[in-house]
Amino acid sequence: MHHVLMDQWSQGASPLHKRDPRAKILALAAFLIVLATTAPNAFLTLVIDAVVLVAGILIAGLPLASLLLRAMAVLPFSLTFGLISWLAGDQLRALGLVEKSYLSTVAVLLVVGTTPLPLLLSGLEALGTPRLLVLVAQFLYRYLFVVSEQAQHIRLAAACRQGIERRRRSGFRAAAGALAVLFARSYYRAEGIHRAMTARAFSGKFALLRRLQFGWADGMFTLAIAAFLILVRIQ
Amino acid sequence: MTRFEKSCYFETSIRMHIPDNFLSTPVWATLDALSIPAVGLMVKRAGRELEDTSIPLLGVMGAFVFAAQMINFPVGIGTSGHLVGGALLAFTLGAAPATIVMTAIIAIQAFVFQDGGVLALGANIFNMAAAGVLAGYLPFWMWGARHRKPAIFAGAFLSVMVSASLALGELLISGVAMPRPLVLVSMALFAISGLIEAAITISVMQALEKLNPELVQRPDSTNWRALAVLSGVAVALGAAGFLWASSAPDGIQRLGLQLGLAAKTGFHAPFPDYTAFTFDSAWLRRATAGLAGLLLVYAVCVAVGKMIGRQRSA
């Protein structure tokens, strides 16, 4: 399963896994910005960028084929728009849409695959994202699978009782009822979670087992990546 | 495990967020610069409005919106739709908290599910979390007390239409060439999905009110002028995007070209010393000019946010 797979990937111990999340976020930003300003037909630059990504994947010890396959998720969208641009006579843009959106996706996957999401979010918070937003995202990720499982049960139950696919009118209303029940259950679940967390002395902040530390190695890592990419871009 | 696998979010839903490298650099950068203070303002507002209880609530309701995509609504001819959720969240949690939840959803979608780009986060947040939610809230805020059903219907319809029109407009300004018939067809599709969203939202709201009326917000419980103004701006922007895209795609391309040229030439004056650098590249010059422009947009946004905040506390 996709996200569980990513969670497994992000538990590794490679040099990339060990970098501070802030270092990886900044390096990712540098990569994406440089890529966004690269011309679609600057093939040498794009190939070097791709080599950097593949080297990163190998250093991190992530499964190369599986990651490259995952990144193809963006292709249906970009191939469609690429085709439209191609037919409209803008071959250069068509090329850029496909190759650059694919490279961007691989870059994001590399960072997410080497950083557990709670750490990534803490890194974003340390870089200035509002605490409330980060907390909401943490809770969202934590309960995503719980609520999804419940939606699954509700769907099954509704289908058993009256056959959602059969009659259109009542099917629509049944789905609305199912969704309202899911809403109410999520709401009450959140109240329960809050009570439980208050009872366990939740102070409005998640404690990390390992404190974030932006060391020399992290700084050098970000600087080296950014400088290399910019130099390749300017040539 | 296998049962769950089949129903995973990324397999059942259509990807509709803008990926990276679809928008031109000035467009995504401006929207990033706009979204940061916009979300910051909403966080401040929500922080004042909410109690402690609400932090897990917002997170779990975000998970609910994800999970809601699994429940299909039959809409005829063998197709089915599902909830988008921005408007429903606005009607139940309030506009500012709904914006925060949608922002968190879009961020998780970009990082975990590769649905939408990271540089395009600002654009997606602006379209769906900020403009979409606010535009959806406007009819509810204005007429929700007296004409409840039409207000809910109009709000849900508007929220989808505004975000979709903005996304389309941004793509066209970025110079993605789309033939006119295609633009019109996608407009029609947006309108249909807006109607589906409206129908879903209104029937879920009715079911919710039967379950527990306290789950649904009283429309007049918030009285925030700036919110109304911002919502109006969101609707106007969406309408502008709609009109532009539907009337003159060629004109937009020309405008995009002109904007690009202006960015290239217009900013030379403040940085005359550039020739002194060894990297005498047009790229570096343009990047610096763009950065200066972004800082300007950001500063204006922060200043406006501060002013609104001060007015509020005064």
Which chain B residue is nearest to residue A155, measuring alpha carbons? B71
Indicate whether B156 and B225 sit together in one domain: yes
Q: Tell me whether residue A219 is in a domain.
A: yes
Instruction: Find the mean pLDDT for residues B151-163.
Output: 91
- Examine the domain organization and report whether A154 and A42 are in the same domain: no
What's the token pair of residue B252?
A: 């937009």
Looking at residue B122, what is its pLDDT? 93
B171 compared with B269, residue with greater pLDDT? B171
For residue A54, how far is the Cα from the chain centroid? 18
Across the interface, whether the CB atoms of B43 and A178 are under 8 A apart is answered no
Confidence (pLDDT) at A31: 94
- Regarding whether A63 and A149 lie in a shared domain, the answer is no
ipTM field = 0.90
Tell me the pLDDT tens digit for each residue of B109-125. Answer: 899 888 888 999 999 99
- Number of domains composing chain B: 2
What would the pLDDT profile of B16-60 be if each residue is shown by its tens digit? 688 888 888 888 988 998 899 889 988 888 887 777 667 889 999
Q: Are residues A104 and A30 in the same domain?
A: yes
Residues of the domain holding B70? 2-249
- Rounded alpha-carbon distances, angstroms, from residue B93 to A1, A184, A223, B131, B162: 32, 13, 43, 16, 20
A96 and A169: one domain?
A: no
How much is the pLDDT for A86? 84
- Residue B295: what pLDDT? 73
pLDDT number for residue B292: 72
Residue A10 and residue A108 in one domain: yes
Residue A107 counted as domain residue? yes
Query: pLDDT grade, residue B263 (50/70/90)?
Result: very low
The proportion of chain B whose per-residue pLDDT surpasses 70, expressed as a percent, equals 69
Q: Round to whole Å and give the CA distance between A118 and B26.
A: 31
DSSP state of B35: H
Instruction: Provide the CATH number for the domain around residue B136.
Output: 1.10.1760.20
Domain that holds residue A191: 131-199
More confident residue, B247 or A11: A11
Confidence tier at B182 by pLDDT (50, 70, 90): confident
Based on the structure, what is the number of domains in chain A? 2
Same domain, B65 and B202: yes
A63 shares its domain with A175: no
The answer on B86 and B118 residing in a single domain is: yes
Mean pLDDT over each residue of chain A, to the nearest integer:
86
The pLDDT value given to residue A206: 72
Q: Looking at the partner chain, which of A33, A155, A176 has a beta carbon nearest the beta carbon of B207?
A: A176
B293 vs B256, higher pLDDT: B293
A45 and A70, same structural domain?
yes
Give bridge partners of residue B79 from the DSSP assignment. B76
Tell if the CB–CB gap between A100 and B178 is shorter than 8 Å: no
B contacts of A172 (beta carbons < 8 Å): 73-75, 199, 203
Are B84 and B223 within one domain? Answer: yes
Q: Which of B21, B92, B200 sits opposite A101 (nearest CB)?
A: B21
Q: Which residues of chain A have pLDDT under 70?
A: 1-3, 162-170, 208-210
Top residue of B60, B183, B185, B209 to mutate, by most chain A CBs within 10 Å, is B60
Looking at the fold, whether B26 and B129 belong to one and the same domain comes out as yes
**Are the beta carbons of A176 and B10 separated by less than 8 Å?**
no
Cβ burial B124-146 (10 Å sphere, 16+ → b, else e): bbbbbbbbbbbbbbbbbbbbbee
Q: Are residues A58 and A149 in the same domain?
A: no
B20–chain A nearest CA distance, Å: 6
Degrees, nearest 5: CA angle B49-B157-A77? 100
pLDDT of res. B228: 74
